[in-house]
Amino acid sequence: MKKWSERFSEPVKEIVKKYTASVSFDQKLALVDIQGSMAHALMLKKQKIISAKDLSAIERGLKKIQKEIESHKFKWSINLEDVHLNIEKRLTDLIGDPGKKLHTGRSRNDQVATDMRLWLREAIDHHLLKIKALQQSIIVLAEKNIDTILPGLTHLQVAQPISFAHHILAYFEMLERDKGRLVDLRKRVNLLPLGAAALAGTSYPIDRNYVAKLLKFDGVMENSMDAVSDRDFLIEYNLAASLIMTHLSRFSEELIMWASPFFNFVEISDGFCTGSSIMPQKKNPDVPELVRGKVGRVNGHLIALLTLMKAQPLAYNKDNQEDKEPIFDVVDTVTDSLTIFAQMIHELKVNKNTMESAALKGYATATDLADYLVKKGIAFREAHGIVAKAVRFSLAKGLDLSEMALADLQKFSKHISDDVYQVLTLKGSLNARNHIGGTAPKAVKNALKKAKLKIK
Ligand code: ARG
């Protein structure tokens, strides 16, 4: 039973030790913690706060510790509370007195803030690569499906025919914005807290810019109180992560729908599905369902972090230790979901014929008939009414507009002639929407070209 320090007359209670220790999860920060310590030690030596001999002992010790951690030989102890104290104690055990000098001009408060920023920076860079890989899968699938037509839906009702490539390129755009958000918030992550010490700064002649440079930060945090207590960067990241997961959940929902026998638009390859323990016929789209489900925990963590920071007085408070588990979980969830999604899209089978016959069913070209009448000089609102009547008539006959006899169509407007059938076809409808952002195959080809340039 050891006292926390000589200030105390009693040891920390076992139950308190367990409650307050973070080493079981913050050991994830070990390598960035060592990275931060190396830079701090180099600065201490440059500023003549420690000697060259001390520095080389510290470097030697930290390298050894890094190897121990990487080979899983490092013995973590809950008695040493967190990753920082575990490493510092081991350093002193290894190299003796110089190890006790590493914490000069530093506090765990600026140390942990630095660690989180270094760790998250790596995670963000990794996410950016993963998003690009998914965008690449989308592009490959889109290229094969420029002329594949499916019914575009609004309110889940048939609206207008859409190129399947155009449809999935919508997700490319969402992911492009996700990258933009990560790149933008990375600027606010990439600032150095170290030097703030506990909260007020330090009386040693430190060089914060030098440490920032060594750790590849873009600059230093301007205010020591803010530096140790700010967790905005984690909240911002979590929000960006929530949006990534939201986008994946939308895509998931469509895949689940499309893979159902009622749609049968796509086939998710077997490797991504499971069966049922009771119903032998089942093939369940577990992966997109789980992605959809995992949005819950990511959004939950966002609320946890917002609540953690709400009304927190300056400067560091132990509350902030609670930032880690949510963020670690968000990073893992987003990484895994992006990885598995890219592979699933890569192997997705598209049932072009089913899509096309569905597009032929729900009067998807009704707007085209209205536009046709407008081009013949009828006001749009009037044309809309004419086509609504024609749809009602053909619904009763069980026919599609394109299947109606010319004489029948002409009952609704004398402006209709036999050129009407060109606009009533799916291809005609698609081709007509030939502008930036439209679904005409020509426009989609251009969109694909631009998309490819964006992920180069
Ligand atoms: N484990 C702590 C955390 O994650 C490190 C900082 C502790 N600082 C302190 N003053 N107790 O926030």
The count of other CB atoms within 10 Å of the CB of residue 455 is 17
Q: Cα–Cα distance between 423 and 94 in angstroms, integer?
A: 81
Please tell me the distance between residue 366's alpha carbon and the centre of ligand 1 in angstroms. Answer: 64
> Which residues have CB under 6 Å of ligand 1?
22, 26, 82, 108-109, 112, 316, 318, 320-321
Q: Which amino acid is at 451?
A: A
Residue 303: partners with Cβ closer than 8 Å, 6 or more residues away: none
Q: Which residue has the tokens 């993963």?
A: 130
Please tell me the distance between residue 41's alpha carbon and the centre of ligand 1 in angstroms. Answer: 20
Q: b or e along 219-239 (b: 16 or more beta carbons within 10 Å of the residue's beta carbon)? A: ebbeebebbbbbbebbbbbbb
Please tell me the distance between residue 443's alpha carbon and the centre of ligand 1 in angstroms. Answer: 55
Q: What pLDDT score does 279 carry?
A: 86
Q: Cα–Cα distance between 172 and 205 in angstroms, integer?
A: 50
The count of other CB atoms within 10 Å of the CB of residue 111 is 25
3-class secondary structure, 199: coil
Q: b or e along 123-140 (b: 16 or more beta carbons within 10 Å of the residue's beta carbon)? A: bbeebeebbbbbbbbbbe
Ordered per-residue pLDDT tens for the chain, 456 residues: 688 888 999 999 999 999 999 999 999 999 999 999 999 999 999 999 999 999 999 999 999 999 999 999 999 999 999 999 999 999 999 999 999 999 999 999 999 999 999 999 999 999 999 999 999 999 999 999 999 999 999 999 999 999 999 999 999 999 999 999 999 999 999 999 999 999 999 999 999 999 999 999 999 999 999 999 999 999 999 999 999 999 999 999 999 999 999 999 999 999 999 888 888 888 899 999 999 999 999 999 999 999 999 999 999 999 999 999 999 999 999 999 999 999 999 999 999 999 999 999 889 999 999 999 999 999 999 999 999 999 999 999 999 999 999 999 999 999 999 999 999 999 999 999 999 999 999 999 999 999 999 999
Residue 149: partners with Cβ closer than 8 Å, 6 or more residues away: 161, 162, 163, 164, 355, 356, 359, 426, 427, 430
Say how many CA atoms lie within 13 Å of 309 toward its Cβ: 16
Q: What pLDDT score does 444 carry?
A: 98
Nearest CA to ligand 1 atom 11: 318
> Residue 369's closest CA among 315, 406, 341?
406
The angle formed by the CA atoms of residues 103, 326 and 88, to the nearest 5 degrees, is: 15
Nearest CA to ligand 1 atom 10: 109
Which DSSP letter does residue 208 get? H
Helices (H) and strands (E) in the chain, counts: 20, 6
Please tell me the distance between residue 112's alpha carbon and the centre of ligand 1 in angstroms. Answer: 7
Task: Determine the residue of 109, 308, 319 to mutate for testing ligand 1's pocket, defined as the one with the most ligand atoms within 8 A of the Cβ atom.
Answer: 109
Q: What pLDDT score does 278 carry?
A: 86
Q: Cα–Cα distance between 106 and 86 in angstroms, integer?
A: 16
Which DSSP letter does residue 88 get? H
Q: Are strands 149-154 and 157-163 parallel, antiparallel or unpaired?
A: antiparallel
DSSP codes, 285-330: -HHHHHHHHHHHHHHHHHHHHHHHHTTPPSS--GGGGGGHHHHHHH
Looking at the annotation, which residues are catalytic? Answer: 155, 276
